[in-house]
Amino acid sequence: MAQVSSLNTQIVVDWGTSSFRAYNFGSNGKIIQRHQADAGILSVRNGAFEEVLEREIGRWISPSTEILLSGMITSRNGWIETPYALTPATLTALATHAVVLHSQRGAKLKFLPGVATHAPTPDVMRGEEIQIFGVVSNNESATIVLPGTHSKWAEVRDGAIAGFRTFLTGEMFALLKSHSILGRLILAGEQAFNEQAFRAGVKVVQAASSISLLNDVFTARSGVLLGAFPADDIQDRLSGMLIGHEIKAGLTLYQKGRLVLVGDPALTKRYAVALQEFGRTAEIGAADAAVDGFRRLSAEAMA
């Protein structure tokens, strides 16, 4: 039975910094088995990646099994560092640029590449491409926005990732909140989303008086000192400013076709609210777009 299964299925492993997710797709694209563990690459000692793979999904594997691996497992700190597929990057190119290793019991391990672009500015992604291919279908064109620590705006043209830009938005917010003079006025603890303060932050960026992010963020402090708004507003006002700056820039590049937000629901909600202030609406893609991307990849690999 195991033998039959391995011939007609495709195993995909999404192995990131902090988590390990595996899917076993049948030839009909349905997930036959799935497994998730806190076995990210940071938890793996002495490069014992193969032992961890066997421990987690060894029961799915036979000598004829082929496994696609994606995520930070393909980075410098992972099992093997794969090169990047250059834009325009297709789903097929990901499979073509995969680096192959054979496990000790003969399974074929295909490590997928990341995607890179040199122009107009150098940029890289490693993992987000799977989410992107999970949102678009063959030959489709769309703009996919993946909010996060390093937000991506990707332009998909005729089914290929034609270009993209990364914005340090999420990381910048964390830096300013945790380590800057602005953070000293932010109250500790979780806050409910203050939509009014968030929208006010977006409006700051849209105003004619906005000349630089470096100035706008300082006003989140000076405005409190001068009584323009309460200190409680700083956190979401700052979030609105940063996301507003990202969207203002992203929209200058990507004006046409579907605009799809993919990611954590609380975060895509913020982006949808900010886009509203810019008079734009966006689709919210499936939060598990990566699974759809892997499904397409596994179908491609089995074809």
Site for a copy of itself, rule CB under 8 A:
84, 116, 118, 120-124, 150, 165-169, 171-172, 175-176, 178-181, 204, 207-209, 211-219, 222-223, 225-226, 228, 242, 245-246, 248-250, 252-253
Between the two ends of the chain, the Cα-to-Cα distance in Å is: 22
DSSP labels for 154-184?
EEEETTEEEEEEEE-HHHHHHHHHHHSTTGG
Q: How far is CA 190 from CA 32, 146, 193, in A?
A: 39, 23, 9
In the complex, least distance from residue 267 CB atom to a copy of itself, rounded to whole angstroms: 15
**Toward a copy of itself, which CB reaches closer, 46 or 212?**
212
Q: How far is the CB of 204 from a copy of itself (least distance, A)?
A: 8
Give the full edge-to-edge strand order of the sheet including 114-117: 84-86, 114-117, 123-125
Determine the Cα–Cα distance for residues 61 and 49; give it in Å rounded to an integer. Answer: 15
Q: Which is nearer to a copy of itself, 48 or 181 (CB)?
A: 181
Instruction: Determine phi and psi for 200, rounding to 5 degrees.
Output: -60, -40
Task: Report the residue number, 176 or 259, with the smaller CB distance to a copy of itself.
Answer: 176
* Distance in Å, CB of 119 to a copy of itself, minimum: 8
Choose between 39 and 154: whose C-beta lies nearer to a copy of itself.
154
Write down how long the chain is.
303
Pairing of strands 151-157, 142-146: antiparallel
d(CA 299, CA 195): 42
Q: How far is the CB of 38 from a copy of itself (least distance, A)?
A: 22
Residue (159 or 163) nearer to a copy of itself, CB: 163
Q: How far is the CB of 221 from a copy of itself (least distance, A)?
A: 8
- As measured in angstroms, the least distance from the Cβ of 200 to a copy of itself is 13
User: Residue 152 is encoded by which pair of tokens?
Assistant: 């991506």
Our CB check for a copy of itself shows the closer of 109 and 202 to be: 202
- From 152, 177, 170, 243, select the one nearest 204 (Cα to Cα): 243
